[in-house]
Structure 1
Amino acid sequence: MTVERRFSRRATLIGGGAVVLAGVGAAGLGYRELASLKGYDAAVAESRAALAAQPAARDLVRFATLAANGHNTQPWLFRIGENRIDILPDRSRRTPVVDPDDHHLFVSLGCAAENLALASAAAGLPCDVGFDPASGAVSVRQQRGAPVASPLFAAIPHRQSTRAVYDGRVVAPELLRQLAEAAAEPGVSLVLLTDRPRLNHIRDLVVAGNSAQLADAAFLRELKSWMRFTPQRALATGDGLFSVTSGAPVLPEWLAPLLLDQVFTASSENAKYARQMASTAGVAVFVGDRADPAHWLRVGRACQRFALQATALGLRHAMINQPVEVARLRPELARLIGAPGVRPDLAMRFGYGACLPFSARRSVEAVLA
C-alpha cells in the first residue's frame, strides 16, 4: 500500500547517533552503575509527573522541556513574565558541526513552544505564539479561558524518541489521516511515505549519511561530547544521549571511551539503521515553505504535534537525521518526496513497538533565564 499525503494550511532530534555497544554484557557493569538505574528511573518519572489542577508557570515550563530536541541538548531558556512565558535560544548549547545554521536549535524551540501551548490551554490559559527574528525569542502570550485538555496534551509525559527496532505492523489509513491532521501547520508541508520501495530508498540515504558523518572527526567529537554512559552522569548533566535510552548498556565512565572507538563503527551503525528501517511502518518528512528560523520554528511545532498524536495512538517514532543533516543528500530526499528544489527539514520514522527508558531533563531552575 502506498499512502502519500501533503498539506500546507495557513492558520524544529533529535536526537540521533545513539551508540550500540555490541558484545558488552553485565561483566562491564559496576554495582554502583546498576544500583543507580532505579534512582535514574525515579528522577525521570518525577520530571514527567502530571500537572497539578492549577499549575504554576514553573510547572508549565517543566512540561515544555519534555519536547523533542536534537542530541537532547535542550537548547532553551525560559523567561516567566506577566501573562507570558518567553522561550529564548540558549546558544551555549549549540551543536555547530551537525547544525551549523541552528536549524535544529529553532526546530527544538518550536517543539518546546508547542508543548507549552498545549499545557497552557489545559491549565485554562489559551495562548498565542509569536516569534522575534531579531532575537530568536519565542513569546507565548497567555490569557484566561476555559481549560482545554486534549489527547496531545495527555501524551506529553509519555512521548519519547524510540530509537529501536519496531514490530513491522502496518499503520491503518485512518490513523495516518489523524497524524496528518494533527501536524497541520501554516507554512509547513508534510509527506507521509509507507511504500517499501521509498522506505528502502530512505534507508539507503540514512546509511550514506551515517557513513559520511562517522568519517568526520569533528562530527564524532561533538557527538561523543553529548553521550552519557552511566545514570549518575546522565542525571548530573540532565541532558545528552544516555546509552540505555537507545537499548545499549550502562558502562563505567572509564570503560566507555576504551570501547567506543572499537564498536561504534560505520558498518555496525549502518546495520542497526537498516534493521530499524526494515521494521518501520512509515516515514514522515516535514518541509517548511522557507529555510529560515521562523519556518523552522513552525516545523518544530508541526513535528511535536505529529509525535504527540503518534504517542496518543500507541505508535512509536524517532528522528532519522542523516538525510537532512548531510547537505549533499537533501536534494535526493526532496526528489523522493516529489518536491525537488526544497530543503527537507525533518524526517521521522514511525511504527509499533516497545517503549525504552526515557531521557533525562534539566531541572526547571536550570532553564530559567
Structure 2
Amino acid sequence: MNRRTMLIGAGGVTVLGVGLFGWRSAVCSTDDYARYAAALRAPPGPEIADLIRCATLAANGHNTQPWRFHAGEGAIDILPDPARATPVVDPDDHHLFVSLGCAAENLAIAGAATGRPGVLKTNADGSLRYSFSPAEPQPTPLLAAIAKRQSTRAAYDRRPVPAGDIEALQRAGEVEGVRLVILTERSRIDRLRDLVVAGNDAQMRDPAFLAELKQWLRFNPQSAIRMGDGLYAAASGNPTLPDWLGPRAFDLFVTPASENDKYARHIDSSAGIAIFLAERADRAHWVKVGRACQRFALTATALGLKLAFVNQPVEVAGLRSELAALAGEAGLRPDIVMRFGYGPTLPFSPRRPVSAVTR
C-alpha cells in the first residue's frame, strides 16, 4: 500500500516556460480542491451513504480504491473491484484485500458512532458484510480521526513518541490472527531503512512497475477531482503540473537515486516503524491486517501523529524473510509497514463519490 511520490525540481518547471493563464487553466485552483476535499470529509449524517463515504476514506494501495459497496436492509456489503487491482506491485491481490479491511474498519467505527452498531463478517472470497441495527450512538475520537487520517509522505521531526502513546498504538493494532511489532530503537529503524531502500531501488528499476505507477499519478487538482482517485502530487508535497507536463517531468526527475535518498531521509526522520504480520497468508487474514492497521492509523491520528506506508520490503518478495527476521517473526509473511512521527499536514488525497462506488 505504497504511495509513490515525485521529486521535481523547480528549475525544470521554469525552463519549460508555461504561461500563467494557461498554467492555471490546466491545473485549476487549489482552493477548489480544498473545498472538494472538505466536502468528502464532512462529519457523517444520518444516511447510509454517509457510512459508505466514511469507508471510502480508508487507506488503500496507490489510492486505487479497489472496492464496491452494496447497501441492503440492515447490511452493507464490501466487495473487491478487480478492475482496480495493481497486478505488478500486488500480483496476488494482497494489498487489495488489506484495503478492503481498512474500509471495513472505518465502516464499523462510523456505524457504531452514528447509532448503527453491527458485526463484520468476512466471506471466503474476501468480501465482507456489515450487519447492523439501530441503537444509541457510541461516541469515539476515532470517528473524527477518519476524516483527518492521511498518508503523510514528508519528513517528520524525529521527536520520540511518549511511552504511553506507544502502548495505545500497540493495543489499537491488536487483532486476533495479526501480530504488530513496533520499532523505536534507532538501530532497528536503520536496518528497516536499508530494506526499504533496497526494495525501492529494485522497483524503480523495473519498467513494468513504473508503467503501472504512472497510470495512477494525478499531477494537478483538476485531474485529481475529475478522476477521484490516484496519487495526487500535492498530497506528497510536490508541485502541481498540467497533465501534458507531469509525465514528462516524472521521467526526467524521478530516478532510483533520488527516490532512495528521499525514503532514507523520511525514515530517518520518523519516530518509529509499525510492522504488521498475519498468522496466515490468505484473504481473510489480509482483511484482518487491514482492520488492524486502519485502527492503528486512526489511533495515531487521534494522538496527533502522522503516518506513511513504506511497503517496499513487503512488495519485493526477496526481502520479506529479512523483514520478518527484523521483526522477530521469522517464518511469517510481513504484510504492512508504516512509519510514524510528528509532521506536517498536507493536502488530502482524492476520493470517488459514493455514487461511483455503490451498486
Structure 1 unpaired stretches of 5+: 1-12
Asked whether the 8 Å contact 2:60–2:99 carries over to 1, the reply is yes
Aligned-residue identity in percent: 55
Q: Choose from 139, 142, 155 the match for 1:152.
A: 142
Which secondary structure state, in structure 2, belongs to the residue aligned with residue 253 of structure 1?
Answer: coil
Query: Alignment length, in residue pairs?
Result: 353
Calculate the TM-score normalised by the size of structure 1.
0.93
Deviations 1:61-109 (CA, angstroms, capped at 9, x unpaired): 0010000000000000000001000000001000000000000000000
| Paired letter, 2:139 | A
Structure 2 unpaired stretches of 5+: none
Q: What is the CA–CA distance in structure 2 between the aligned matches of 1:183 and 1:79, rounded to whole Å?
A: 28
Q: What is the CA–CA distance in structure 1 between the aligned matches of 2:342 and 2:13, rounded to whole Å?
A: 27
What residue number does 1:288 align with? 278
Q: What is the CA–CA distance in structure 1 between the aligned matches of 2:60 and 2:224, rounded to whole Å?
A: 16
Q: How does 1:78-227 map to 2 (within 5 A)?
A: 78-134=69-125, 136-227=126-217
Asked whether the 8 Å contact 2:80–2:100 carries over to 1, the reply is yes
What residue number does 1:269 align with? 259
Which secondary structure state, in structure 2, belongs to the residue aligned with residue 189 of structure 1?
Answer: strand
Q: What is the CA–CA distance in structure 2 between the aligned matches of 1:244 and 1:70, rounded to whole Å?
A: 17
What residue number does 1:41 align with? 34
Q: What is the CA–CA distance in structure 1 between the aligned matches of 2:148 and 2:43, rounded to whole Å?
A: 10
What residue number does 2:227 align with? 237
Q: What is the CA–CA distance in structure 1 between the aligned matches of 2:24 and 2:74, rounded to whole Å?
A: 48
What residue number does 1:18 align with? 5
Q: What is the CA–CA distance in structure 1 between the aligned matches of 2:258 and 2:221, rounded to whole Å?
A: 25
Q: What is the CA–CA distance in structure 2 between the aligned matches of 1:25 and 1:64, rounded to whole Å?
A: 37
| Paired letter, 2:82 | R
- Residue 132 (structure 1) shift: 1.1
Cα 1:300–1:232 change in 2 (3 A) is: same
Deviations 1:143-179 (CA, angstroms, capped at 9, x unpaired): 1221102111121100000000001100011000011
Which secondary structure state, in structure 2, belongs to the residue aligned with residue 270 of structure 1?
Answer: helix
Q: What is the CA–CA distance in structure 1 between the aligned matches of 2:302 and 2:335, rounded to whole Å?
A: 24
Q: How does 1:1-16 map to 2 (within 5 A)?
A: 13=1, 15-16=2-3
Which secondary structure state, in structure 2, belongs to the residue aligned with residue 124 of structure 1?
Answer: coil
- Residue 22 (structure 1) shift: 2.5
Asked whether the 8 Å contact 1:33–1:231 carries over to 2, the reply is no
Deviations 1:276-309 (CA, angstroms, capped at 9, x unpaired): 0110000000011100000000000000000000
- Residue 31 (structure 1) shift: 2.0
Which secondary structure state, in structure 1, belongs to the residue aligned with residue 345 of structure 2?
Answer: coil
RMSD: 1.2
Q: What is the CA–CA distance in structure 2 between the aligned matches of 1:227 and 1:149, rounded to whole Å?
A: 37
User: Which stretch shifts more, 222-231 or 141-150?
Assistant: 141-150
